């Protein structure tokens, strides 16, 4: 990546097939993504929800001659903790397989850290699958610390539709 400056921009709807291919281009993504032509409509709905939310940024990384070289999603989250501060969550980080281990990941994270600072965040957090030790070492090398134990509960869709999304919000707590 010496001398080559990546460009960062918001994803466009027409990027979607290339983005899904990136997400599917690893052992975990290959099990959960469907980079078919045409794409399942769920990807378009998700893109529209992300693109329409001012606290979500789906970011494409481009290189000369390579319109979609990488991808990341930043979510900006307001919190009552830390005196009502904001934090950023980075997810869905992918780099084209032929460009991995060339320094693009570091550039992407430097950009994301700067973007989180621009938005006034006090913290940038991420999760990484435990089956990706190389990725975890990479994040630690950037200064990330495994300070918390994360947990997930996978929810199955109901007969009435997806688990979450517009119009399917959970009832307010009492």
pLDDT digits (tens, 9 = 90+) for 95-135: 999 999 999 999 999 999 999 999 999 999 999 889 888 99
Residue 161 has pLDDT above 80, yes or no: no
Query: What pLDDT, on the 0 to 100 scale, is given for residue 28?
Result: 87
Please, what is the average pLDDT of the chain?
90
Residue 167 has pLDDT above 90, yes or no: no
Contacts of residue 61, defined as CB under 8 A and 6 or more positions apart, other chains included, come to 6, 7, 8, 68, 69, 70, 71, 72, 95, 104, 107, 108, 111
Using an 8 Å Cβ cutoff, are 115 and 149 in contact?
no
pLDDT confidence bin for 158, thresholds 50/70/90: confident
- Taking the C-alpha atoms of residue 55 and residue 143, their distance in angstroms, rounded to an integer, is 24
Residue 170 has pLDDT above 90, yes or no: no
Query: What pLDDT, on the 0 to 100 scale, is given for residue 26?
Result: 86
**Helices and strands: H and E segment counts in the chain:** 6, 5
Using an 8 Å Cβ cutoff, are 129 and 123 in contact?
no
Task: Name which residue leads in pLDDT, 163 or 52.
Answer: 52
Q: pLDDT per residue over 12-57, tens digit each?
A: 999 999 999 999 998 888 899 999 999 999 999 999 999 999 999 9
Using an 8 Å Cβ cutoff, are 92 and 23 in contact?
yes
Q: Is the pTM of this model over 0.75?
A: yes
92-97 mean pLDDT? 94
- Taking the C-alpha atoms of residue 105 and residue 54, their distance in angstroms, rounded to an integer, is 24
* Distances from the Cα of 21 to the Cα of 12, 36, 63, 76, 161, angstroms: 15, 9, 17, 25, 25
Sheet holding 7-10, edge to edge: 7-10, 56-63, 66-78, 86-95, 121-126
pLDDT confidence bin for 149, thresholds 50/70/90: confident
């Amino acid at each position: 990546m010496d001398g080559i400056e990546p460009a960062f921009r918001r994803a466009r709807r027409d990027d979607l097939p290339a983005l899904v291919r990136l997400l599917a281009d690893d052992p975990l993504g290959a099990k959960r993504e469907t980079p078919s032509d045409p794409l399942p409509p769920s990807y378009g709905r998700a893109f529209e929800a992300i693109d329409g939310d001012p606290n979500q940024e789906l970011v494409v990384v481009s290189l000369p001659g390579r319109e979609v070289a990488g991808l990341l999603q930043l979510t900006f989250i307001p919190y009552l903790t830390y005196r009502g501060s904001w934090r950023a969550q980075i997810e869905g980080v992918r780099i084209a397989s032929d460009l991995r281990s060339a320094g693009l990941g570091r550039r992407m994270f430097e950009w994301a850290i700067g973007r989180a600072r621009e938005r006034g965040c006090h913290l940038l957090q991420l999760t990484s699958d435990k089956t990706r030790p190389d990725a975890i070492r990479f994040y630690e090398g950037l200064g990330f610390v495994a300070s918390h134990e994360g947990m997930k509960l996978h929810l199955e869709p109901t007969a009435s539709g997806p688990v979450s999304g517009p119009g399917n919000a959970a009832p307010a707590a009492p």
